[in-house]
């Protein structure tokens, strides 16, 4: 019976990943869909099958393309362990911002996502955890009320179930269209992960390209352990804003994952292909990494 559920969950996740195939790749419906996709960095033509097999990392030069939330989950979770939390959670339009509703509807249609974050329970290397993932295809993974709420709920679920919490960040920061309430999600998420940590929970932040603005200045920088994908842009102010402020161009590699590690803000730069094993190792090292039973 359990196997049946696990198989069903895995099918669901696979379907959701496949929807991602529409972007960045061309629609499947087109007979002329190219078999090759050029790497944005090394310009090598790589077959779609190889991109997929390699987790959207260029097999020629190691360039990490952005991955969607469901694909990310399929890359790190054990087969059949994916159970989504609050899948239908969305938020309204607090500023009544012109065009926002239509924009959300269009993105939901194209991406198969409800919002810019997906939270799930699952297992990594056999060990259970709560994993939340931001998706940069959905308004740059920006943190509106629903995204803040999902992160907070993920922390609370982890706290109650005494499981470790892992968050994959990919976000331009606050969701402008939700105005000040978006800013307030920084307070909401920072408080939620802090509470979880104070109760003894292990929180691992995985920073992927890009992690900036209000997400960096809240839960992204509050991990017990902080991992980052190679070359991910990580910062508070965006490079363009800084260039305007200081009136000069920024040095090569500035605000990249490796730069942050050099400056003491990242524990390890982990290529995508090694992420699952690295997380499994960390979970093993913190076998009682959930919130403490005795803490009230």
Partner 1 sequence: MTQVEPISPARRVALAREPGRPGVSGAVEALFTDFFEYRGDRLCADDPAVLAGVALFHGRPVTVLGTRKGAGLEQNLACHFGMPTPEGYRKALRAMDQAEKFGRPILTFVDTPGAYPGLEAEARGQGAAIAACLARMSTLSVPLIAVILGEGGSGGALALAMGNRVLMAENAVYSVLSPEGFASILWKDSSRAEEACGVMKLTAGDLRQLEVIDRVLSEPSGGAQSDPAAFWRTLNAALTEELRAAEKLADPARHRQRRFRAMGNSWLHTGKENA
Q: Does 85 bind partner 1 (CB under 8 A)?
A: no
Nearer to partner 1, 81 or 185 (CB): 185
Q: Does 200 bind partner 1 (CB under 8 A)?
A: no
Using CA atoms, how far apart are residues 56 and 66, in angstroms rounded to an integer? 7
Q: Does 158 bind partner 1 (CB under 8 A)?
A: no
Nearer to partner 1, 82 or 100 (CB): 100
In the list 19, 95, 258, 269, the residue contacting partner 1 (rule: CB under 8 A) is 95
Helix (H) or strand (E) holding 10: helix 2-20
Using CA atoms, how far apart are residues 110 and 114, in angstroms rounded to an integer? 10
Which residues in the 45-84 window bind partner 1 by CB under 8 A?
none
Nearer to partner 1, 30 or 264 (CB): 264
**Helix, strand or coil for residue 53?**
helix
Buried b / exposed e along 127-148 (16+ C-beta atoms within 10 A): bbbbbbbbbbbbbbbbbbbbbb
Using CA atoms, how far apart are residues 232 and 209, in angstroms rounded to an integer? 4
CB of 275 to partner 1, least distance (A): 22
Which residues in the 159-188 window bind partner 1 by CB under 8 A?
174, 176-188
Buried b / exposed e along 212-233 (16+ C-beta atoms within 10 A): bbbbbbbbbbbbbbbbbbbbbb
H helical segments located in 162-265: 179-198, 213-216, 239-246, 257-262
Which residues in the 209-238 window bind partner 1 by CB under 8 A?
213-214, 216-222, 234-237
Nearer to partner 1, 179 or 230 (CB): 179
Chain positions contacting partner 1, by CB under 8 A: 86-98, 114, 145-146, 148-149, 152, 174, 176-188, 190-195, 198, 213-214, 216-222, 234-237, 241-242, 245-246, 250, 254-255, 263-265
């Amino acid at each position: 019976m359990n196997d049946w559920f696990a198989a069903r969950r895995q099918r669901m996740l696979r379907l959701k990943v496949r929807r991602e195939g529409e972007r960045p790749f061309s629609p499947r419906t087109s007979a002329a869909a190219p078999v090759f996709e050029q790497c944005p960095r090394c310009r090598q033509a790589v077959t779609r099958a190889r991109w997929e097999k390699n987790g959207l990392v260029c097999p020629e030069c190691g360039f990490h393309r952005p991955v969607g939330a469901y694909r990310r989950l399929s890359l790190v979770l054990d087969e059949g362990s994916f159970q989504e939390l609050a899948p239908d959670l969305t938020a309204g339009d607090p500023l009544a911002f012109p065009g926002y509703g239509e924009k959300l509807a269009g993105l939901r249609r194209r991406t198969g996502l409800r919002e810019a974050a997906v939270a799930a329970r699952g297992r990594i290397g056999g060990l259970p955890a709560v994993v939340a993932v931001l998706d940069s295809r959905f308004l740059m993974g920006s943190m509106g009320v629903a995204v803040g709420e999902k992160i907070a709920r993920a922390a609370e679920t982890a706290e109650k179930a005494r499981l470790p919490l892992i968050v994959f960040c990919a976000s331009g920061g606050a969701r402008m269209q939700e105005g000040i309430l978006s800013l307030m999600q920084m307070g909401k998420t920072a408080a939620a992960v802090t509470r979880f940590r104070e109760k003894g929970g292990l929180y691992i932040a995985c920073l992927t390209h890009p992690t900036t603005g209000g997400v960096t200045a809240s839960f992204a920088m509050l991990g017990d352990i902080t991992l980052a994908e190679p070359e991910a842009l990580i910062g508070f102010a965006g490079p363009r804003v800084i260039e305007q402020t200081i009136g000069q161009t920024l040095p090569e590699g500035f605000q990249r994952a490796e730069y942050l590690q050099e400056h003491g803000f990242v524990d390890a730069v982990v290529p995508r292909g090694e992420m699952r094993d690295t997380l499994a190792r960390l979970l093993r090292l913190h076998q009682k990494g959930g919130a403490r039973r005795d803490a009230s």
